[in-house]
Structure 1
Amino acid sequence: MSPALIAATLWVIAASAVAFLPMRRQFAPGFALLAAAPVLIIWIGVVHGWIWSAIGLAAFISMFRRPLWYLGRRALGRV
C-alpha cells in the first residue's frame, strides 16, 4: 500500500474518531481534518491517477457536506 493510501486511511480513522466526540469538541479537530483533506486528495491523485482522486473527493464531500454548505453560505454572505 502506498504512503498516500496509508495517510488517507489514517485520515478516515481520525475523522471517524472525531465524529464520536460531542459537537462542541468537534470543531478544532474537524477543521484540521477539513484543511488536510485537499492535500490528501491531491496526493492520491498524483500517485494513483485522477479517477481515484475524484472518488476521494466524492467521499470527502459526502462526509463534510454540512460544514462545506455552511462555509459556502458564509463566503457568499448569506449567514
Structure 2
Amino acid sequence: MTLSLLLACLWVLLAAVIGVLPEKLHWIAAFSLIASGIPLLGFLTYQSGPLWGLIALAAGASTLRWPLFYLGRWLNRRRRSTGE
C-alpha cells in the first residue's frame, strides 16, 4: 500500500471520528477536512493513478456531501442573480 493510500484511509477514519463530535464543531472540521483533502487527493492521483484518484474523490464527496450541497445552492443563486 502506498503512502498516499494510507493517508487517504486515515483521512476517512478521521472524518468518521469527526462525525460523532458535537454538531457545533462539524463546519470547522469540514473546512479542515477539505483543506487537507484537496492536496491529499492530488498526491493520491499522482502516486496511484487516476482511477484511485476518482475513487477517493467519490469517497470524499460522499463524506462531505452537505458542504457540497450548500456550495451547489450558492452557485445556483449566484447564477440566477446575474440573469444568465
Identical amino acids, percent of aligned pairs: 36
Question: Post-superposition shift, 1:4?
Answer: 0.7
CA RMSD of aligned residues (A): 1.5
In structure 1, what is the equivalent of residue 81 of structure 2? Answer: none
TM-score relative to the length of structure 2: 0.80
For 1:73 and 1:55, locate their aligned partners in 2 and report how far apart those are by CA, in whole Å. 25
Please list the CA deviations of residues 11-66 of structure 1 after superposition, one character each: whole Å capped at 9, or x if unmatched: 11110110001111212122100222121111111011101101111111111122
Q: Structure 2 unaligned runs (5+)?
A: 79-84
For 2:64 and 2:9, locate their aligned partners in 1 and report how far apart those are by CA, in whole Å. 16
For 1:68 and 1:17, locate their aligned partners in 2 and report how far apart those are by CA, in whole Å. 20
Is the 8 Å Cα contact of residues 2 and 48 (structure 2) preserved in structure 1? no
Higher relative contact order (CA 8 A, sep 6+): 2
Which structure's CA Rg is the greater one? 2
In structure 1, what is the equivalent of residue 44 of structure 2? Answer: 44
1:40 is aligned with what amino acid? L
